[in-house]
Amino acid sequence: MANLQLSGVSLMFGARTILKNVTIHLSEGSRAALCGINGSGKSTLLKVIAKEIEPDSGERSLSKGSSLAYLPQSIIVPAVLGSRTLLEEAQSVYPASADDGGGASLMPSGVSPAEGVAEDRAEEGGDDRSAGWSEGSASFAAASPLSTHWSRDKDISIVLTGLGFVAADFSRGVDEFSSGWKMRIALAKALLQKADFLLLDEPTNYLDIEARAWLLKFLGAFKGGILLVSHDRFFLDNAIREVYDLFQGGLKRYAGNYSAYERQRKAELDELLKRHAEQEVEIKRAEDLIRRFRYKASKAAMVQERVKKLEKLEKTGKIEIPENLKKIAITFPPPPHSGRIALTATGIGKRYGEKTVLAGLDLQLDAGERLVVAGKNGAGKSTLLRILGGNENNFSGSVRYGAGIAAGFFSVESAESLAGGETVLGFMEQDAPLALLPKIRDMLGAFLFRGDDVYKTLGVLSGGEKSRLALLKMLTRPLNLLLLDEPTNHLDIWTKDILLDALTAFTGTIIFVCHDRAFMERLSTKTLYLDGGKHTLYYGGYAWFMETRAQTEMPVAPPNGEPKPPPSGNPAQNAGKDSREETKKRKAEEKRRKKREEELIAKIESLEAAKAHAETELSRPEVYSSGEKARKIQADIRALEASLEGANAEWEGLFLTAANPYDNLGLCRNFF
């Protein structure tokens, strides 16, 4: 069995400890996430595992004959690769002598990029990252044996198509793609290696929801071990079964999916914050006493005792809380009063060459509604938001705002216009409402501008930083209609939660496009689905929309009542509705499953602790020198391992049978 292990690894950058005696073990079938607050060193740890950074101490071992594939957050594109086509770049992961297996290439000859590719690319946007790969990089050095079932080009076609490329893209030069699509190419190359271990640093960046769904299926069918970093809560919940949390240089393992980890970690952090607050009170009390009695001879002994305690505390026991651990609740200006109708769109149409992305779309939103626009890549989601936000002129139909509506539009592309010598802090304070001025620094901190970052000039900001800053700036204005195109890009999970809390409390109207399913489910109250020029309005949030589509392709009534017809255009038809009994039964079953899952996680943790204790006992001289004692403990360990195997098998069964819209593995099973 393939094994990958780090033992006692430590690493420092200058005076800062990044990794402290870190140990991690992955084996075949491992499904692990690496989590931690922003800046905790997750990417650095992945680089250590991938042998791109040498640690100061500790060991890394990979079982003989095993291989790993590593996808970093950002990669540099050598100019020499510009002449390669997408297909040639994907083929480069295979050994030069590899036979194609007799399968004909799926790339038709003489094909040119299809009409509408510009729209496909515009749906994703991009940032300033240099994306690509190094031909001689260790990341892609070792190619695994070719599949015996699929030809090389069929493998490539499955992966590239799953990640959103179309056949016409295969003959395009690598340098023609945006940075976001180059990141998809790099991800495809990592997957095509068929290595024993996948190390993926934010693989869901730049992926739309369909590509994320495909990647989830792919990883579910993958037989090797996986360690990934992601800021997509839904993706993590459905992709992993254990979490390694990196905090202040140390690494701790948690059994279960991300939600289970989050609950346990929150309880631990709450306790840590409580002890930190109590310690701060004690420190202040001691410092006050020292200042008061420092020069009184009768109190000298007491003062000296307090001084020594504080000195000892500074060296060994002071609880430090990183600034970015302190979750900040931020509020935005209340929206101005408006009429009942926020927006009316009539007969919206848009074409790219011969490709129709929108046709005859009618939409009316009442004030306070939160509409998520969903659909496959290239369906026209970003185009529609640009039209509704007044940032697109070349379209048919009309858009009319209701009385008193003040609208704000955000997209990654619009953020790129930020430039000049003004500082981040100055930019935010300019035109900010007076009531918000004292909170600007906290708001910037919540959006990952901390410490001296607030004095950076706009001209030196990265694409991700510009995106976060432009979004925050828009949200400080008194608006009652927000049009948000991918607002969660470049945000970690903690910042997403802060934004989500603020938007959920916002009483104005929101229209948004997003690829983070957990965010979409919690924020949306209505869903507009775009598909090949057609559109359907669902009178329920994204979770209800997904459940409805899993049952029927036709829209049905929302859980709280009968459907009402949309203003015009595609009428939503009632194709059936779950009975109250079925809904109640499904909820009860889900409640039982979650309860059993929590019981199993607790049992697994208890068994692991007992096994570790038994192994420690076995290492004691008085035990291993006694044959009878050693045999008894070895028998106990075998029994614990058997119990662990049974508990893990039952837990995995619950994990795999849980409600999951991505349970149809399709071609992904055959790929392996």
Task: Note whether 621 and 665 are same-domain residues.
Answer: yes
**DSSP state, 307?**
H
Residue 451 lies in a domain: yes
Instruction: Say how many C-beta atoms besides its own lie within 10 A of residue 511's C-beta.
Output: 27
For 573, the token pair is 């038809």
- Write down the pLDDT at residue 322: 62
How far is residue 516's CA from residue 523's CA, in Å, rounded to a whole number? 11
Task: Note whether 321 and 348 are same-domain residues.
Answer: no
Instruction: Say how many C-beta atoms besides its own lie within 10 A of residue 284's C-beta.
Output: 10
Task: Note whether 487 and 559 are same-domain residues.
Answer: yes
Task: Note whether 560 and 600 are same-domain residues.
Answer: no
**DSSP state, 105?**
P
Task: Note whether 427 and 508 are same-domain residues.
Answer: yes
Which residues have C-beta within 8 Å of that of residue 430, sequence separation ≥ 6? 422
Which residues have C-beta within 8 Å of that of residue 290, sequence separation ≥ 6? 303, 306, 307, 310
- Write down the pLDDT at residue 317: 67
Q: How far apart are the first and last CA of the chain?
A: 17
Residue 176 lies in a domain: no
For the beta sheet containing 355-366, the strands, ordered from the edge strand earlier in sequence to the opposite edge, are: 355-366, 341-352, 396-401
Task: For residue 425, give the CATH number of its domain.
Answer: 3.40.50.300
For residues 125-146, b (16+ Cβ closer than 10 Å) or e, as one string? bbbebebbbeeeeebbeebbeb
Task: Note whether 404 and 504 are same-domain residues.
Answer: yes
Residue 663 lies in a domain: yes
Residue 484 lies in a domain: yes
- Write down the pLDDT at residue 113: 31
Residue 69 lies in a domain: no
Task: Note whether 524 and 548 are same-domain residues.
Answer: yes
How far is residue 103's CA from residue 139's CA, in Å, rounded to a whole number? 27
How far is residue 346's CA from residue 397's CA, in Å, rounded to a whole number? 6
User: Structurally, how many domains does the chain consist of?
Assistant: 3
Structural domain range at position 299: 274-325
Last residue of a domain, one of 519, 553, 574: 574
Residue 469 lies in a domain: yes
For 325, the token pair is 């651990």
Task: Note whether 370 and 452 are same-domain residues.
Answer: yes
Residue 226 lies in a domain: no
Q: Torsions phi, psi of 441, nearest 5?
A: -65, -40
Task: Note whether 296 and 346 are same-domain residues.
Answer: no
- Write down the pLDDT at residue 582: 62
Last residue of a domain, one of 528, 545, 574: 574
Last residue of a domain, one of 325, 354, 388: 325
Which residues have C-beta within 8 Å of that of residue 541, sequence separation ≥ 6? 372, 520, 521, 523, 524, 525, 526, 527
Task: Note whether 475 and 590 are same-domain residues.
Answer: no
Low-confidence ranges of the chain (pLDDT < 50): 79-80, 98-150, 554-579, 656, 658-670
- Write down the pLDDT at residue 583: 61
Residue 58 lies in a domain: no
- Write down the pLDDT at residue 145: 36
Q: Torsions phi, psi of 342, nearest 5?
A: -90, -40
Task: Note whether 314 and 383 are same-domain residues.
Answer: no
Instruction: Say how many C-beta atoms besides its own lie within 10 A of residue 286's C-beta.
Output: 17
Task: Note whether 503 and 465 are same-domain residues.
Answer: yes
Comparing CA positions, the residue from 488, 428, 612 lying closest to residue 205 is 488
- Write down the pLDDT at residue 323: 56
